[in-house]
Amino acid sequence: MSGTEKDTHLGKWVLLDKKNKVIYSNKHLIKVVKKGKEYPKDEVIIEKNVPQHSCFF
Amino acid sequence: MFHSTAVSSNDLIQMSHSHLLRFTFVYGDKPPQIPLVPLRFFDTVNNPTPKFNDILDSGADEITIPRELAEYLDYKIIPRKEKINTAGGEMNAFVTNGDFSIGRGGREVRYHSIEMCVVDHDIPVLIGIKPLFDDYSISIQAYENKVVLTPRQKK
């Protein structure tokens, strides 16, 4: 993910292709999971685009 | 005792014996440079999700997933009797059991019926001590943005 992409999708769940480029993002995890299932297995990966210095609890 | 079944085909066919595989995962070199490992979850009728890049969290007891994911996977979600302790204080949490696999490129290790913590917050999936840190020596080589999982030696 490039720095610009990181900013655009900050805080969202993102679907990444093999080159680590964002091909879909949404704040709802399940929408990203469903979109990911449209692609062949191992072609995409889901990640939460967290800001730097994040603490999760 | 290991909880895993190694799989080597694209169809995730279970082999008859259990063993662990050595993995090296490279994660992004852009901030926040958090160590990530690829996991795939399976719902109650064995349908896999796409892979997730999940965060290694040696400060957590077990795998922690957001409630939205647990519900999507149709996992049974049971409230914990006691609140869990976090860096930010106590919070309500739930417990569930589910299946996942770790790995990529056809090299995956499947785990069955693993207890996981479920929280209402929209957090990334966190990979705590159980079960992966119990089964692997895990080395985070931040200077190379790399995580190396070496199967533990049997005693």
pLDDT tens digits for chain B (155 residues)? 444 555 444 444 443 235 899 999 998 777 778 899 999 999 999 999 999 999 999 988 999 999 999 999 999 999 988 888 776 678 889 999 999 999 998 899 999 999 999 999 899 999 999 999 999 999 999 999 999 999 998 76
pLDDT tier, A31 (very low <50, low <70, confident <90, very high otherwise): very high
- pLDDT for B140: 94
Rounded to an integer, the average pLDDT of A17-45 is 95
| B32 with A37: Cβ contact below 8 A | no
Number of folded domains that form chain B: 1
- pLDDT for B105: 85
φ, ψ at B49 (rounded to 5°) = -85, 170
How far apart, in whole angstroms, are the C-alpha atoms of residue A38 and residue A57? 32
Q: Is A45 touching B (CB cutoff 8 A)?
A: yes
Cβ(B104)–Cβ(B51) below 8 Å: yes
Checking DSSP bridges between strand B94-104 and strand B36-42, what pairing results, if any?
antiparallel
**Residue B88 CB: number of other CB atoms within 10 A?**
9
Q: Using alpha carbons, select from B72, B39, B21 the residue that is nearest to residue A45.
A: B39
Q: Is A33 touching B (CB cutoff 8 A)?
A: yes
| Residue B40's CATH number | 2.40.70.10
| A56 with B69: Cβ contact below 8 A | no
Amino acid occupying residue A4: T
How far apart, in whole angstroms, are the C-alpha atoms of residue B57 and residue B41? 18
> Among B30, B38, B69, whose Cβ lies nearest the Cβ of A6?
B30
- pLDDT for B19: 82
- pLDDT for B85: 78
Q: By CA distance, what is A19's nearest residue in B?
A: B28
How far apart, in whole angstroms, are the C-alpha atoms of residue B42 and residue B14? 14
Which of A6, A32, A43, A46 should we substitute to test contact with B (largest number of B Cβ atoms within 10 Å)? Answer: A46
CA distances in angstroms from A5 to A34, A43, B32, listed in the order given? 21, 19, 13
Average pLDDT, rounded, for chain A: 88
| A42 with B88: Cβ contact below 8 A | no
φ, ψ at B76 (rounded to 5°) = -75, 125
| ipTM, interface predicted TM-score of the complex | 0.87
CA angle B64, A27, B118 (to 5 degrees): 20
Domain assignment of residue B146, given as a range: 4-151
How far apart, in whole angstroms, are the C-alpha atoms of residue B6 and residue B16? 9
pTM over 0.80: yes
Tokens 């995409």, residue located: A44
> Among B31, B72, B124, whose Cβ lies nearest the Cβ of A30?
B72
Q: By CA distance, what is B92's nearest residue in A?
A: A57
